[in-house]
Each structure stands twice: as C-alpha cells, then as structure tokens.
Amino acid sequence: MKKGPLRLMVISYPRRLDTVFERSVLSLAKHVGPGFRVERCQEPKDVPWLVRQWRRRGHDVTRLEFLGHGKAGAFSLGDQMFIDATGTGLETFGALGDELAEDARVNLLGCRVARGGQAAWLTPFERALGARRTLWGASSWVSHVAFMHGPISAEVEATLVRAGRSVETPEKRHPRPSGRHTAGRGTHGH
C-alpha cells in the first residue's frame, strides 16, 4: 500500500559525541512525522537496506539527507568514511540508487563537502545514483542552528552545491553554537 513520499535523514553516532551533533539530532527529533523520519545507521554500507525497508512500507524516499562530518573531498558518517574522492562508497551509492524514488535528491549535510563551491568530486556518486537523481553538498559550515525548525529549510538547501558544479561561493559561516567547538573530533554536522 502506497503511503506517500518520505524525507529521510540518516545519522550515525560517533564514539565521541559532541554537543553540536547532539543538538542537531535533538532538534530534528522534534519534527519527526509521517513525511519526515530520522534513522540511525552505524554501518554506511547498510544505508541501501535502510532505504529499502521504507520503500517496502510503501514510502518513496524522495529526499535523503545524511548528517555527518565533511571536508573537501570526503564525507563521514559517525566515525567511518562514507564517501571520498578516491571512490570509497561508489558501490553503496549504486545500490542506493536502486532504492530511491526516480527523481530523488540526496543532500550531504557536513561542513565544506563542496568547499569553495567545488563539487566536481561528487560527480561519480551522482552518476551511480541513476539518471534523474541528484547529489548535493554543503559548501560552508553546517551547525545545529540549521535544524532548529526541522529539516533544513529551502533557504539553507539553496546554499548547497550540486555534484559536478563549480560555483563561486564565499566562505560563509553559519552561526556556531555557544561553547567550545570540537572540529575534527567526530561527526557533528561539520
């Protein structure tokens, strides 16, 4: 039985949980409902299976978002590399394409995945997803503030850069949370 489109956010807890990641997850959890779900997946290779489970329940996953740690040429979920410029994760993205809606959009929500507007390294991953599916990455910092009102807004989503594109983007920093910043120590939306 068809239940409608689904926006699915995938998270993976790092061994060392920090406040930025925790605040992001807590903000998102308040907005879970019929059209938006948050799922934990500790093994990146299991993401296609997770999406398949939602498809079997009657949902077309039209928007898939990953909350993780990014840097130019790499994106991690939890403590594990999910994809990188050397091709890590291509097989997973191929399997993922078989499970997503035909025109699905995939967002990598980790800081500076497409730093400086450079998203060319994501092109093989977008191709692996299939013809009409698109892959987007953040060009600047991502913090829990982006999730205060639920899944990322159209305004924040408009700042993402599509795979294969190079656009000039200023090094814009989104507001950081108060307290100590722990860049580079686990997945926390950076």
Specify the pLDDT at position 131. Answer: 86
In a domain, 179, yes or no: no
Number of domains in the chain: 1
Task: Give CA separation, 13 vs 40, 182, 188, in Å.
Answer: 8, 15, 9
**Band of pLDDT at residue 141, cut at 50, 70 and 90:** confident
Distance CA 105, CA 68 (A): 17
Domain extent, residue 78, equals: 4-162
In a domain, 180, yes or no: no
In a domain, 152, yes or no: yes
Distance CA 135, CA 42 (A): 21
Distance CA 16, CA 189 (A): 13
In a domain, 169, yes or no: no
Lowest mean pLDDT among 3-7, 42-46, 154-158: 154-158
Q: What is the pLDDT of residues 154-189, one digit of tens each?
A: 888 888 889 977 555 444 444 444 444 333 334 344
In a domain, 181, yes or no: no
CATH number at residue 34: 3.40.50
Backbone angles phi, psi at 53, to 5 degrees: -60, -40
Q: What is the pLDDT of residues 65-84, one digit of tens each?
A: 999 888 889 999 988 999 99
